[in-house]
Structure 1
Amino acid sequence: MLKDDASSQSSTEGSRVSNMPCIVIAAHKSYRMPEDPMYLPLQVGKALHPDINLGFQTDDTGNNISSLNASYSELTALYWLWKNNDAPYKGLVHYRRHFASKRHFLYKDKFTQIIRHEEVERLMESTDIIVPKKRQYYIETIYSHYAHTLSDEHLTATRKIISELQPAYQPAFDEVMHSRSAHMFNMFIMEQHKFNEYCTWLFPIIDELTKYIDSSQYDAFNARYPGRISELLLDVWLKTNTYSYTELPVISTEPVNWLKKGGSFLLAKYAGKKYVKSF
């Protein structure tokens, strides 16, 4: 794994000394952000775009892998938070995708519906991890959906790596691949110790995967396979360790074109049309 050091800024920049949770918001463009102090907007891929300044904390400071953002996607934000922040609870969301409060239906403004630190702290008193509600695929397994929309070569290589590096996790990997739902989006909130444990487990697998699959054969969209595979591994880790979790609704701050999204899903399954862009 590459590690870049930006000597001009402190490696602890963005860390917090209070008991406030720290939820990093991975962002690559200017965007409205939640006002709650638990949220830390993080500009990802800064090492690749030094000329772009969003006014946020950047992922190229301290111990980081910012230069890998083109393939690792939001994992560069996850890595930065792991290595450069000591909050008691840590999590990851996206600039346009957030956890919603359980009382979200009371508010019209989507940004008002985003969960606040008081509710997170209450939830974490009775659960190990906060995750999004499972995405249901109904007519596809996790494996078949990925194989229809992207390349099953990625999954085959991942299974081989897990069997070699973390064999105790292989049964859960197989179970997740055969299921029809999963906790997606690389969104979660965990107590610091479990967060560190998860990252320590995850990143060696993803790093090894990039040695198996040559990304130079791909365009920009398909080169992001390490980030996509990582989405499927959270449930593998959860199932193997039998940690408790609480599911929360996910709110998108932008309209979702479900007709286009559903149409692409069906074309991939029945017509063999691979995904060529994100939705």
Structure 2
Amino acid sequence: MSNHPQIYVATHKETELPGHPGYIPLHVGKAISDKDLGFQGDDTGDNISSLNHSFCECTGVYWISKNVDAEYVGLVHYRRHFAALGQGIEFKGSQIASPDVFPEFERGANLIVAAPLGFLNGVSGTQISLEENYVGTAIGQDLVLVREAVEEHQPSYLNAYDFTMRSCQLNAYNMFVGKKSVVDEYADWLFPILFTLEKNIPYQFYETYQKRVFGFIAERLFTVWINKNRGRHKIVTREALFLP
């Protein structure tokens, strides 16, 4: 590639970061943090940094879309990285992707996302759908509002939404590396839906973990968008690593 991706590493705290200039630390939620981590925050320019407690790393997605000028961009987490294919970078005992080595783009891909996860019933061990998983681990009635918001903003995606929520595979973590134009298209699709939900879901009364609701919903919506656009945008997957 002639233009290596600018891959932002979302973090809200001091942590070890990959020692490669293609990995750029991004302090997500900086607007509501009592710490200055000493690097770029998601609170400059057009931003939603103050929503980080409920939007999670999506405040970073928004900031990248609105403020970064690059041909290729990416977002990973301080503990979640894409695995290397071939030559990688040694980091925390694993080989993570080098920003210099993404052969998928040479083969025509426009976006790389996390390889899908499946979910199992904790008792029977059988596969369950994304809808069943969400109802079992989050506030299930939120999904009624999610579908309504998709119907309001993106009615042509309803079939993809229903298919995805009944399926058993999730492209998790809101991680990606790809063409900025494709990331922008996704962000322009996602955030009007999330902003409507932010007004309609009473997340302020949820327990701490459940207040991350819009980050959880965004993972499902990202999978919806991927399923709808996989062929048009040549979207491919790569293993995501969980690091200590």
Give me the TM-score of the superposition, normalised by structure 2.
0.90
Change in Cα spacing, 1:199 to 1:247, as seen in structure 2 (3 Å) is: same
Question: Residue 7 of structure 2 contacts residue 99 of structure 2 at CA under 8 Å; is this kept in 1?
Answer: no
Aligned partner of 2:29: which letter? Answer: G
In 2: Cα distance, 1:180 partner to 1:130 partner: 20
Pair 1:161-2:149 in alignment: yes
Spell out the pairing of 1:208-227 with structure 2 (5 A cutoff). Answer: 208-227=196-215
Tell me the SS of whatever aligns to 1:137: strand
Tell me the SS of whatever aligns to 1:156: helix
Of all paired residues, the percent bearing the same amino acid is: 39
Question: Residue 103 of structure 1 contacts residue 113 of structure 1 at CA under 8 Å; is this kept in 2?
Answer: no
Q: Which of 95, 104, 109 is equivalent to 1:123?
A: 104
Q: Which of 228, 242, 252 is equivalent to 2:242?
A: 252
Pair 1:180-2:168 in alignment: yes
- Aligned partner of 1:201 in structure 2 is 189
**CA deviation digits over 1:222-246, x for unaligned, max 9?**
1110111000111211222233222
Aligned partner of 1:114: which letter? Answer: I
In 2: Cα distance, 1:60 partner to 1:162 partner: 27
- Aligned partner of 2:123 in structure 1 is none
- Aligned partner of 1:66 in structure 2 is 49
Change in Cα spacing, 1:85 to 1:107, as seen in structure 2 (3 Å) is: closer
**CA deviation digits over 1:60-90, x for unaligned, max 9?**
1111111111111101111111111111111
Spell out the pairing of 1:74-93 with structure 2 (5 A cutoff). Answer: 74-93=57-76
Tell me the SS of whatever aligns to 1:113: strand
In 2: Cα distance, 1:143 partner to 1:132 partner: 19
Tell me the SS of whatever aligns to 1:93: strand
**CA deviation digits over 1:103-141, x for unaligned, max 9?**
37x987546611012212x32122121011110124210
Change in Cα spacing, 1:109 to 1:92, as seen in structure 2 (3 Å) is: closer
How far off is 1:196 after superposition? 0.6
Determine which structure has greater relative contact order: mean sequence separation of CA pairs < 8 Å that are 6+ residues apart, divided by chain length: 2
Pair 1:137-2:137 in alignment: no
- Aligned partner of 1:102 in structure 2 is 85
Spell out the pairing of 1:8-23 with structure 2 (5 A cutoff). Answer: 19-23=3-7
In 2: Cα distance, 1:203 partner to 1:107 partner: 33
Q: Which of 35, 42, 50 is equivalent to 1:52?
A: 35
Question: Residue 34 of structure 1 contacts residue 111 of structure 1 at CA under 8 Å; is this kept in 2?
Answer: no
- Aligned partner of 1:233 in structure 2 is 221
In 2: Cα distance, 1:41 partner to 1:158 partner: 31
Tell me the SS of whatever aligns to 1:119: coil
What residue ranges of structure 1 are gaps of 5+ in the alignment?
Answer: 1-17, 255-279
Give me the TM-score of the superposition, normalised by structure 1.
0.79
How far off is 1:19 after superposition? 3.1
Change in Cα spacing, 1:109 to 1:53, as seen in structure 2 (3 Å) is: closer
- How many residues matched? 234
Change in Cα spacing, 1:20 to 1:28, as seen in structure 2 (3 Å) is: same
Q: Which of 26, 34, 41 is equivalent to 2:10?
A: 26
Pair 1:41-2:22 in alignment: no
Tell me the SS of whatever aligns to 2:237: strand
Tell me the SS of whatever aligns to 1:136: strand
The structure in which a higher percent of residues are strand is 2
